[in-house]
Amino acid sequence: MDVLYPVCCGLDVHKASVTACLRAPGAGAPRRQEVRTFGTTTRELLRLVDWLTAARCTHVAMESTGVYWRPVYNLLESSFELFLVNAQHVKMVPGRKTDVRDSEWLAQLLELGLLRRSFVPPAAQRELRDVVRWSSRLL
């Protein structure tokens, strides 16, 4: 299969960490792959953005598990083309499941264009939804 996105990244997002797998063209036929782990604080997420920007990454994929993807998505959406994907659609074969393998698998599927995005409303609509949910709890 042809590579659709030459420089892309797969993210495995959890409560306390984000594992990122960056895939890019290598010196020869094999593609270069680099895996790093970041925290979920704003400072750490900005380090992730800087790393991806320095590598000239254009597309990023992450699973929509829980609510932990939201702050990551909010920080990355202005700099990259984001793919928020349903975790059920990219399930790996049962076995040795690790954060690194999940991020590698997402990056491999993304570079080949095999991921289907979930709908994410625009930032203004997401903010309005949060305000409405918060105000309805007060009543």
> What is the edge-to-edge ordering of all strands in the sheet holding 81-85?
32-39, 17-24, 8-13, 59-63, 81-85
**Residue 132 backbone phi and psi in degrees, to 5:** -65, -45
For residue 20, tell me if it sits in a domain: yes
Answer whether residue 103 is part of any domain: yes
> For the residues 7-15, what does the mean pLDDT come to?
95
Alpha-carbon gap, residue 81 to 89, rounded angstroms? 19
- Tens digit of each residue's pLDDT (9 = 90 or more) over 37-56: 999 999 999 999 999 999 99
Q: Which long-range contacts (CB under 8 A, 24 or more apart) does 92-95 make?
A: none
Establish if 17 belongs to a structural domain: yes
> Higher-confidence residue: 8 or 26?
8
pLDDT tens, residue by residue, 69-125: 999 999 999 999 999 998 877 776 565 578 899 999 999 999 999 998 888 878 888
Residue 2 forms part of a structural domain? no
pLDDT at 95: 59
CB distance 16 to 9 below 8 Å: no
Q: What is the CATH number of the domain that holds 24?
A: 3.30.420.10
Count the domains in the chain.
1
In whole angstroms, give the CA distance from residue 31 to residue 28.
8
Q: What is the mean pLDDT of residues 55-64?
A: 94
Domain that holds residue 100: 8-138
pTM: 0.85
pLDDT of residue 109: 93
Is residue 27 one of the residues assigned to a domain?
Answer: yes
Quick: pLDDT tens for 19-36: 999 999 987 768 899 999
Residue 1 domain-assigned? Answer: no
Judged against a pLDDT cut of 90, whether residue 61 lies above it is answered with: yes
Q: Is residue 3 part of a domain?
A: no
Q: What is the pLDDT of residue 96?
A: 54
